[in-house]
Structure 1
Amino acid sequence: MADPVELPTPAKVVAARELPAREPVQDPTLRIPVNRDWEGKPEPRHRLVTIGDSLTHGFQSGAIFNTDISFPAIIAHELGWGGGFRHPSYPGYGGLPLNIELLLRELEERFGKNLDWWEAPLALFHARGFLDKAEDYWERGPGKDVPRTIGINHNLGVYGWDVRDVLSKSAKICRDAIDEPKDNFLKQVVQNDGDRAALRVLPSAGIDGDENMTVLAAAQRLGEDRSADQRHGIETLIVFVGANNALQTVTKLKVKWSGPDYKDLKGKESYTVWDPDHFKEELWELAKQVRGIAARHVIWCTVPHVTIAPIARGVARKMTIGSRYYPYYTRPWTSDRDFNPTVHPHVTGEQARDIDLAIDLYNDAITAQVKSARDDGRDWYLMDTAGLLDRLAAKRYIDDPNARPAWWQPYPLPPQLAALPTPPNSHFLTSDGNGRTDGGLFSLDGVHPTTVGYGIMAQELVNVMRLAGVEFRHLDGTVRPDPVLVDFDRLIRRDTLINQPPGNLTSGFEVLAWAEASISLLKRTLYFRG
């Protein structure tokens, strides 16, 4: 089927070009008081439920695997409820679809820390073998069978999903979408990996035989699981979705605005960024369903500016003094010296600005939904993830004082992170062979956080939950006093990219560049899911 006609930049985005940079929302309550009539009553059975995409699922370095340290799992641990928090698991070959960290460690073990250019073909041949084994595991081996679950997952995030997917997709839709596996020599990647991953989230929602249940319906079922004297089955519901309505602009380096079939699961596949009016309509439907979920508190997260993620590296100098944008954005392994706009995939600075403006309009719509709910007396909150990432944006703001808007202040890293020999930042992760030399907030796919990066998200959400009156407990059940702080020492120990990154990151970049230029190995495997 031919691609639809490419649509022009939406009029609302064009009009927003004259506006200043969006100022983050500082008060999660939007300064609207609500009646907290639940105070003093027992907490609901399900203390935390999350709906979202890869950032909620726990995606990292090109794969979903460390779901026990996703940001929802980190929060559950701090609640003292980690043992009760249900989440999917993805054992075997580093998860789905491609664990870049594990692949680089395999190459390091075989070829050493320094990979010479003439070893690149051998390295890629070895990489193909790794991909082949992973493909066999998930398509034909133990990974193809979805494990039985004991109940509905509390983490209902699924990587790659946009708002329409959250509204529509079910286990039946995902299962029906999985094609008969084919062993393609040049495309050794797990087919239908996103649908396979979703089945480990959704079937638990179908424990009563209802394979048409969406994650929203699953959350509604958890909300109904309550005692006779309670109004809510869920204490805190976090909704964090919308990044995939713009993320592919930087992962595919292509800008294609949504058309009239944006609600169609197949028709929307070619779009990389949603018209703000389309997003607003989808969001309205999502918020309507969330209102039907019996949750004591609901936290909505805004959509981060995807052009800050280091997967799209700004080329050369910024467009003008004081600008947030570079003239071009391309792959992080393409140097300024080698970059050629007629050869290398890229988006322009003007396109990057329009993407950010669209996201600002998405976030205005999310904020409006929270305001409307609080006006109706609902205990809803806004966690401004976009503002959080802006405060951590190294190349955009930290490295360029001239680009900082009047409201901008750097985000204070937790003391444990600030005390590291190289405090983490939002640059692409690099190593000198002995340890990390730069980056540390983003994992090796350049899109998703490292474990400590997820920890920062968890801390900000913990702060909002405390504002809502949620009690956090020690393992012995005693209430934790304020401030409730995420255990970053624990996360640093778990974060292998922080404490022991692959020693071949620099030469690994050269392999990635060679692969992209010669056989397009990355075309299927490194269009990272959101």
Structure 2
Amino acid sequence: MAGSVRREGSRVPETDPKVGVDVSTQWAGDPRHRLVAVGDSLTQGFQSGAIFNTSLSYPAIVAHELGCFPSFRYPLYEGLGGLPFNLELFLRDLEARYGRAVDWWEAPLALFRARSVMDRVEDYWERGPGLNVPSTTAIMHNLAVLGWDLRDALSKSADECRKRIDVPKDDLVNQLVQNAGERAALRVLPTRPRAAGALTQLRAAAELGKDTEGTGAKHGIETLVVFLGANNALRAVTDLRVVWSEDSGFDSLDGKGHFTVWRPKHFTSELRKVAAEVSEIKARHVIWCTVPHVTIAPIARGVAGKTQPGSRYFPYYTRPWIRDRDFDAGKDPNITAEQARQVDEAIDAYNDAITETVRAARTKGRDWYLLETCGLMDRLASRRYAEDPLARPDWWQPYPLPSSLRALSPPPNSHFLAGKDGRRTDGGLFSLDGVHPTTVGYGILAQEVINVMRLAGVRFFRPDGSTPRQDPVLVDFDRLIRHDTLVNRPPGNLGSALGVLGWADEAMDLFRRVFSVL
């Protein structure tokens, strides 16, 4: 593998959140901030190409079940479907004008409409009401920012983001919000008082940790969730390019954009710095999440049949709307089976490093835990394991969906979302960008966070905030299903959604530009 020792077979997930190390704990007082999260788009609540549904991010779902949602602070992106471009609203707009399919003679008008919608979104965030960033002295509890990797968490602040926002251009062709990631960050990171503008997300969390006056607690934060690292490999599948990090530039804001995958030694170097800062945050419990295998996300679809019986990999991975019979390796964007394997092996090494970080902290008496989000996604992987018994490693077992999800027809899976006549027929765990979860998908992640929190002894309450809940503490999936528009009332043109999204990508390079902020 590029940059590391090759591993035989898949990494065995760590099933013990305590990683085999017990810690003796005694707590006094009640921390003021019950839940704080640092991370990237997966923690912020990104869906279908945009950050907009932040009240249903997995930390917000956990806060609801904790009974502290009214006091849980998170940013809002309510204008025109959020940042940078909401694919669900785009499909619904096309459906309202052209019905459940865009016929060939309507394509020029539909393209004009698509550009018009993108132009409105661009104007809103670059020149319109979206420029007005709410100013508050309160620090968010969900401090995640879309597109951030380990270096961003260490170096980016509101002041730094402002410096990186270019003078907007009203481009008639490249109609997408410029510097969408930095604009999104300005609604997350503190800006007041003036000195707060220099705080990174980790240092902002540290300020919340210091907020102990009058609580009788040594920690200002009860539970801190750290979910970083996916963006150190994600662009391999969103860009369909594998460019390994080099010794120069991987750890700088200006240099790292040249790479799509970090070599494990570079990832570990950055992880040590993040862990050092997290260790300074006064959080009673810290939950570290492992990095999911990015090749499972349906944005990169395996084509041409698996390389051999029982293999985890397909010969090529390309865009999900390109059918096997149409795929041309010489013309269509792709990565190969060997490249996908190398990326997965790098992520396995990342997760070994995260696991060892938690184990080392616990041996020093810190109440840190590991959440195997990589293993979780592997257990939900339809094409890699669920549909290919020969490919399943010895440790693999299918993830048991909550009863409310099993009762759906069909039960959600990790395929790209599909539908017919206004009804979902496939998928349901991933939103329309093929990378980020649907609301019920975020609910599964929230349930796993809750399970670790209960292991740590965190108390959960009813919505009144004072009535204790008994075990098992379960996410209200019926509530999430009601809010999940992709699962319970998908766009009527979902049957042709892959074709529409493929057409938009070919005509406007839509996906590359949407994912450029990640």
Instruction: Classify the TM-score, shorter chain.
Output: over 0.9
Aligned to 2:360: 372
Q: C-alpha separation between the residues in 2 aligned to 1:513 and 1:56? A: 27
Say whether the 8 Å CA contact 1:187–1:521 is kept in structure 2.
Answer: no
Matched ranges for 1:267-278 at <5 A:
267-278=255-266
Give the conservation status (yes or no) of the 8 Å contact 2:17–2:370.
yes
CA contact (8 A) 2:179 2:517 kept: no
| Residue 26, structure 1, aligned to residue 26, structure 2 | no
Instruction: Report the counterpart of residue 212 of structure 1 in structure 2.
Output: 198
Provide the residue aligned with 1:221 in structure 2.
207
Point out the more displaced range, 292-301 or 41-50: 41-50
| Alignment deviations for residues 435-494 of structure 1 (CA, whole Å, 9 cap, x no partner) | 000000000000000000000000000000000000000123111000000000100000
Query: Which residue number in structure 1 is paired with residue 469 of structure 2?
Result: 480
Q: Secondary structure at the match of 2:178?
A: coil
Mapping for residues 289-328 of structure 1, pairs under 5 Å: 289-328=277-316
Contact 1:115 1:508 (8 Å CA) reproduced = no
Question: Is 2:144 the counterpart of 1:157?
Answer: yes
User: Following the alignment from structure 1 to structure 2, what is the Cα–Cα distance between the partners of residues 505 and 329?
Assistant: 22
3-state SS in 1 of match to 2:196 = coil
In the alignment, residue 323 of structure 1 is paired with which amino acid?
S
Q: Which residue number corresponds to residue 434 of structure 1? A: 422
**Contact 1:202–1:213 at 8 Å: present in 2 too?**
yes
Contact kept, 8 Å, 1:24 with 1:386, in 2: the verdict is yes
Q: 1:521 to 1:362 in 2, by over 3 A?
A: closer
Considering only aligned residues, what root-mean-square deviation do their CA atoms show, in Å? 1.2
**What is the correspondence of 1:480-519 to structure 2 with a 5 Å cutoff?**
480-519=469-508
Question: For residue 113 of structure 2, what is the aligned residue in structure 1?
Answer: 126
Letter matched to residue 474 of structure 2: L
* Deviation per residue, 1:139-197 (Å, 9 max, x gap): 01100111122500000000000000000001111001111110111111101100000
Residue of structure 1 equivalent to 2:127? 140
Give 1:123 deviation, angstroms.
1.1
Amino acid at match of 1:211: G
Q: Secondary structure at the match of 1:277?
A: helix
What are the Cα deviations for residues 34-53 of structure 1, in whole angstroms up to 9, with x where unaligned?
01111xx3320000000000
* Pair 1:187-2:174 in alignment: yes
Correspondence for 2:388 among 388, 391, 400: 400
Aligned counterpart, 2:80: 93
3-state SS of 1:319 partner: coil
Contact 1:257 1:275 in 2 (8 A): yes
Q: Is the CA contact (8 Å cut-off) linking 2:3 and 2:263 kept in structure 1?
A: no
Q: Is the 8 A contact 2:263 2:346 kept in 1?
A: yes
The separation in 2 between residues aligned to 1:370 and 1:401, in whole angstroms, is: 32
User: Do 1:124 and 1:511's aligned partners in 2 also have CA atoms closer than 8 Å?
Assistant: no
Output the CA distance in 1 between the equivalents of 2:408 and 2:301. Answer: 25
Q: Does 1:230 align with 2:230?
A: no
Is 1:112 matched up with 2:99?
A: yes
Take 1:277 and 1:411, find their aligned partners in 2: how far apart are those partners?
A: 31
Matched, 1:331 2:319: yes
Question: % of aligned pairs identical?
Answer: 61
Shift in Å, 1:208:
5.2
**Cα distance in structure 2, aligned partners of 1:500 and 1:243:** 30
Contact 1:62–1:528 at 8 Å: present in 2 too?
no
Deviations 1:353-397 (A, max 9, x none): 000000000000000000000000000000000000000000000
What residue is the counterpart of 1:450 in the other structure? 438
Q: Output one character per residue of 1:305-355: Cα deviation in whole Å (capped at 9) or x when no partner.
A: 000000000002100101000000000011111110110000000000000
Structure 2 CA distance for partners of 1:423 and 1:336, relative to 1, 3 Å: same
Contact 1:302 1:382 in 2 (8 A): yes
User: 1:42 maps to which residue?
Assistant: 29
Q: Is 1:252 aligned to residue 271 of structure 2? A: no
Match of 1:5 in 2: none
Residues 522 and 243 of structure 1: CA distance in aligned 2, closer, same or farther (over 3 Å)? closer
For 1:10, the aligned partner's letter is A
Q: Secondary structure at the match of 1:498?
A: helix
Contact kept, 8 Å, 1:51 with 1:238, in 2: the verdict is yes
Aligned to 2:271: 283
| Displacement of 1:516 | 3.4
CA offsets per residue over residues 290-310 of structure 1, 9 Å max, x none? 000000000000000000000
* Counterpart amino acid of residue 301 in structure 2: R
Rounded to whole Å, the distance in 2 between the matches of 1:29 and 1:522 is 39
Residue matched to 1:413: 401
Q: Is the 8 A contact 2:264 2:349 kept in 1?
A: yes
TM-score by length of 2: 0.98
- The farther-off stretch of 220-229 and 355-364 is 220-229
Question: Which residue is equivalent to 1:175?
Answer: 162
Letter in 1 for 2:286: V
Q: Which runs of 5+ in 2 are unaligned?
A: none
Q: CA deviation at 1:10?
A: 2.9
2:497 maps to a residue whose letter is G
2:346 corresponds to which of 358, 364, 374: 358
Cα distance, 1:129–1:253 mapped onto 2, change above 3 Å: same
The one-letter code matched in structure 2 to 1:342 is: G
Does structure 2 retain, via aligned residues, the 8 Å contact 1:433–1:502?
Answer: no
Name the count of aligned residue pairs: 515
Asked whether the 8 Å contact 2:65–2:463 carries over to 1, the reply is no
**Contact preservation (8 Å) 1:97, 1:193:** yes
2:224–2:287 Cα contact (<8 Å) kept? yes
The CA distance in 1 between the partners of 2:173 and 2:265, in whole Å, is 40
Deviation at 1:132, TM superposition (A): 0.5
Aligned equivalents of 2:9, 2:75: Cα separation in 1:
42
Structure 1 residue 521: deviation in Å?
Answer: 4.2
**Partner SS, residue 222 of structure 1:** helix
What is the Cα deviation at residue 115 of structure 1? 1.8
Q: Distance in 2 between matches of 1:519 and 1:149?
A: 37
Aligned to 2:337: 349
Seen in structure 2, the aligned counterparts of structure 1 residues 79 and 66 have a Cα distance that, compared at 3 Å, is: same
User: Which of 116-125 and 249-258 deviates more?
Assistant: 116-125
Greater displacement, 147-156 / 77-86: 147-156
One of 39, 44, 48 as aligned partner of 1:61: 48
- CA 1:28–1:521: 2 relative to 1, 3 Å: closer
Q: Distance in 2 between matches of 1:433 and 1:528?
A: 33
Distance between the aligned counterparts of 1:522 and 1:283, measured in 2?
A: 29
Gaps of 5+ in 1: 1-8
